[in-house]
């Protein structure tokens, strides 16, 4: 379980560090593409997690054998972080002024 949590934290951290923020008009266009990819990847991750749930537990005659399983799993959290990073990137780019560069 520790390795799974570390890998989820690593993916979330790398996603946030690789945020797509543009400084000029051309870079902003590509940043919007990158942010759209983040949102799509987050939606796909959430969809895969929701559609691949474990089968329900069937207890034995003494009502033993089932333990609590949280409905919120790591892939759901990673998908939400990916989508949120994409939405944040779009809002950040939309409100940011273009940087004037002299060439």
Please report the pLDDT score of residue 84 as a whole number.
92
Structure tokens at 87: 């939405």
Spans of all domains in the chain: 25-51+70-97
Q: What is the pLDDT of residues 19-32, one digit of tens each?
A: 566 677 777 788 88
Is pTM beyond 0.75 here? Answer: no
What stretches in the chain show pLDDT beneath 70? Answer: 1-22, 101-103
Q: How many whole angstroms separate alpha carbon 61 and alpha carbon 78? A: 38
């Amino acid at each position: 379980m520790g390795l799974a949590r570390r890998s989820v934290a690593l993916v979330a951290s790398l996603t946030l560090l690789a945020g797509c923020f543009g400084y000029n008009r051309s870079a902003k266009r590509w940043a919007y593409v990158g942010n759209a990819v983040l949102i799509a990847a987050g939606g796909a991750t959430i969809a895969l997690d929701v559609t691949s749930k474990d089968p329900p537990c069937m207890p034995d005659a003494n009502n033993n054998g089932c333990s609590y399983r949280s409905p919120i799993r790591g892939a759901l959290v990673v998908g939400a972080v990916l989508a949120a990073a994409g939405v944040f990137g779009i809002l950040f780019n939309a409100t940011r002024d273009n940087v004037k560069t002299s060439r």
